[in-house]
């Protein structure tokens, strides 16, 4: 019921829940579609589905905000939950646990199917016909360096020796109808794979996938360990292999239900200028950088393809909603593997996933005898400082699990009353993501800086902890019962 093999069945499920809004008037892919998507995201409206796109063949469509927060009352993470194969009612903690459990299962590699059974092979464009000109490539923000081919798709690449196939999300900008460029950062997995081809002086084969199984880009946003394959992880997550089909011009395999697949090769040198582009941190900086050049060799697509578009920027949007649970799950798995008692982890989405919150059970002292709160927090910081996922968040708060970290009211109350202004914190030097604006310019340049862990744990039960001043704790049980009974009678 919750397993959607392609973008179309996923959108149909959202539409049945009232979370899709058809836009039937003609809309331009140049800024207008992204502006509507951005507005929809900021106001938490249903996902816009553009049925009439200017400048392309009739039937070509665009889908905005495919994994942003949902408009369904009480279920803001519905799109994320459905993308990961859960019911739309799944909570933040349930989504994180689902992802953690899949990490411990046996990987389930993709299953190759015949080209005749792959919807993405309904149309095959080779040579001069393999042109971006026939597709609605969105210009997302007015000051972007160009239209962006990839805002919600995955780039598939493989190491030269074939040992590791990586599915990565990374932005890609159109240069002309046959060329693109995009971020290939050394610290990210795509950059690590590309570096091996660079060392050989050979272009890297690639496939860029738009649309298809909604879990593909959602999993592509998760910082799995180096060498782990997203396709096999998604199989374990869903309990079934992902159907894939071989590319036309290289030996990579792509999800068979994709809307559009762009094949080609990536130069072994950084000979193109990429950017600027407003990003997940919420700021529209004017930065550019030298990046490799993607050359297009072939394009395959479904009949009447749907092109997904994400208008990244100030949170919360698709840049945060799926990656927050994904990073949280990786951190939770690492901490539990280290034998540390942790209830759950969460990245507050409104903080652009720059914060990490870790909650621990009230009986953690029984599991770690002779360890005080500072010692426990230090152990957490040590484990996280050696983990790629653990260093993705500049600031971490360790709290008792009497609060729900995905509930902003709970979280703000806890942060405001339990975090010491200057004490009970420890910093850990190491690699950082080189585009977090909270860091100094020299830190961003070097890729190294500090992450901090705040010890915001309460005293032990019976050892100085006071009850919260809430309905359930500061009134007698019989009075509470009368109040609740009166409410029920009025209802």
172-195: per-residue pLDDT in tens? 999 999 999 999 998 899 999 999
The answer on pLDDT for 386 being more than 80 is yes
- Looking up tokens 């007698």 gives 476
Query: Which pLDDT belongs to residue 230?
Result: 97
Query: Which pLDDT belongs to residue 463?
Result: 81
Confidence of residue 434 (pLDDT cuts 50, 70, 90): confident
Query: Which pLDDT belongs to residue 465?
Result: 87
Query: Which pLDDT belongs to residue 464?
Result: 82
Q: How far apart are the first and last CA of the chain?
A: 34
pLDDT 10s digits, 287-326: 999 999 999 999 999 999 999 999 999 999 999 999 999 9
Mean predicted lDDT score pLDDT of the chain: 96
What is the average per-residue pLDDT within 412-428? 97
Query: Which pLDDT belongs to residue 359?
Result: 98
pLDDT 10s digits, 56-110: 999 999 999 999 999 999 999 999 999 999 999 999 999 999 999 999 899 999 9
What is the average per-residue pLDDT within 22-28? 98
pLDDT 10s digits, 320-367: 999 999 999 999 999 999 999 999 999 999 999 999 999 999 999 999
C-alpha angle 138-392-164 in degrees, rounded to nearest 5: 75
pLDDT 10s digits, 107-130: 999 999 999 999 999 999 999 999
Domains defined for the chain, CATH in brackets: 7-309 (2.30.110.10), 323-455 (3.40.1670.10)
The answer on pLDDT for 1 being more than 70 is no
User: How many angstroms separate the CA atoms of 193 and 161, rounded?
Assistant: 10
CA 280, 284, 288, 292 torsion-angle sign: positive
What is the average per-residue pLDDT within 17-27? 98
Is 211:260 a contact under the CB 8 Å cutoff?
Answer: yes
User: How many angstroms separate the CA atoms of 135 and 123, rounded?
Assistant: 13
Angle (deg, nearest 10), helices 323-337 and 92-104: 60
Give the CA count within 13 Å in the CB-facing half-sphere of 378. Answer: 7
Confidence of residue 137 (pLDDT cuts 50, 70, 90): very high
Determine which one of 279, 330, 408, 441 is catalytic.
Answer: 279
Residues whose CB falls within 8 Å of the CB of residue 23, separated by 6 or more in sequence, listed in order = 36, 48, 49, 50, 51, 52
Query: Which pLDDT belongs to residue 226?
Result: 92
Query: Which pLDDT belongs to residue 467?
Result: 87
Confidence of residue 462 (pLDDT cuts 50, 70, 90): confident
Query: Which pLDDT belongs to residue 2?
Result: 73
Is 298:130 a contact under the CB 8 Å cutoff?
Answer: yes
pLDDT 10s digits, 220-250: 999 999 999 999 999 999 999 999 999 999 9
Residues whose CB falls within 8 Å of the CB of residue 32, separated by 6 or more in sequence, listed in order = none
Q: Closest Cα partner for 323 from 294, 301, 354? A: 354
State the DSSP string of 10-74. Answer: HHHHHHHTT-EEEE-S-B-TBTHHHHHHHHHHHTTPPEEEESSBTTS-TT-EEEE-TTS---STT
Query: Which pLDDT belongs to residue 3?
Result: 83
Annotated active-site residue 274? The verdict is no
Query: Which pLDDT belongs to residue 491?
Result: 79
Q: Closest Cα partner for 174 from 136, 212, 203? A: 136
pTM of the model: 0.95
DSSP β-bridge partners for residue 263: 207, 298
Q: What is the DSSP letter of 392?
A: S
User: How many angstroms separate the CA atoms of 45 and 32, rounded?
Assistant: 17
Query: Which pLDDT belongs to residue 461?
Result: 81
What is the average per-residue pLDDT within 17-40? 98
Count of helices and strands (H, E) across the chain: 13, 23
């Amino acid at each position: 019921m919750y397993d959607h093999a392609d973008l179309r069945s996923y959108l149909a499920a959202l539409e049945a829940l009232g979370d899709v809004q058809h836009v039937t008037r003609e809309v331009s892919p140049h800024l207008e579609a992204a502006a509507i998507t951005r507005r929809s995201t900021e106001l938490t409206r249903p996902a816009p589905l553009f049925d009439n796109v200017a400048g392309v063949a009739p039937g070509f469509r665009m889908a905005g905000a495919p994994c942003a927060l949902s408009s369904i009352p009480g279920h803001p993470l519905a799109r994320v939950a459905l993308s990961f194969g859960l019911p739309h009612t799944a909570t933040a903690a349930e989504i994180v646990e689902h992802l953690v459990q899949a990490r411990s299962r046996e990987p389930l590699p993709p299953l190759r199917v015949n080209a005749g059974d792959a919807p993405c092979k309904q149309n095959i464009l080779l040579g001069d016909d393999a042109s971006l000109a026939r597709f609605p490539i969105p210009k997302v923000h007015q000051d972007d360096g160009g239209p962006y081919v990839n805002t919600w798709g995955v780039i598939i690449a493989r190491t030269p020796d074939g040992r590791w196939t990586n599915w990565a999300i990374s932005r890609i900008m159109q240069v002309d109808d046959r060329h693109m460029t995009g971020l290939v950062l050394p610290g990210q997995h795509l950059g690590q794979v590309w570096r091996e081809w660079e060392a050989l002086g050979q272009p890297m084969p690639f496939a860029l996938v738009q649309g298809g199984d909604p879990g593909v880009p959602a999993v592509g946003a998760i910082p799995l360990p180096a060498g782990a394959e997203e396709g096999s992880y998604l199989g374990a997550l869903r309990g079934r292999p992902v159907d894939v089909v071989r590319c036309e011009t290289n030996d990579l395999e792509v999800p068979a239900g994709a809307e559009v697949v762009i094949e080609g090769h990536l130069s072994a040198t950084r000979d193109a200028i990429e950017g600027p582009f407003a990003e997940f941190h919420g700021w529209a900086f004017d930065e550019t950088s030298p990046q490799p050049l993607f050359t297009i060799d072939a394009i395959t697509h479904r009949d009447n393809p749907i092109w997904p578009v994400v208008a990244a920027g100030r949170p919360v949007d698709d840049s945060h909603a799926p990656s927050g649970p994904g990073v949280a799950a990786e951190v939770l798995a690492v901490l539990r593997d280290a034998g540390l008692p942790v209830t759950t982890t969460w990245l507050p989405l409104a903080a652009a996933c720059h914060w990490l919150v870790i909650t621990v059970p009230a009986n953690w002292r029984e599991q770690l005898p002779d360890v005080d709160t500072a010692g426990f927090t230090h152990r957490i910081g040590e484990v996280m400082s050696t983990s790629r996922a653990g260093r993705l968040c500049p600031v971490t708060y360790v709290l008792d699990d009497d609060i729900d970290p995905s509930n902003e009211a709970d979280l703000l109350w806890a942060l405001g009353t339990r975090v010491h202004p200057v004490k009970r914190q420890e910093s850990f030097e190491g690699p950082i993501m080189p585009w977090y604006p909270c860091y100094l310019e020299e830190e961003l340049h070097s890729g190294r800086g500090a992450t901090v862990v705040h010890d915001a744990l309460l005293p032990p039960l019976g050892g100085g902890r006071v009850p919260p001043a809430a309905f359930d704790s500061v009134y007698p049980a019989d009075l509470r019962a009368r109040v609740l009974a009166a409410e029920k009678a009025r209802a």
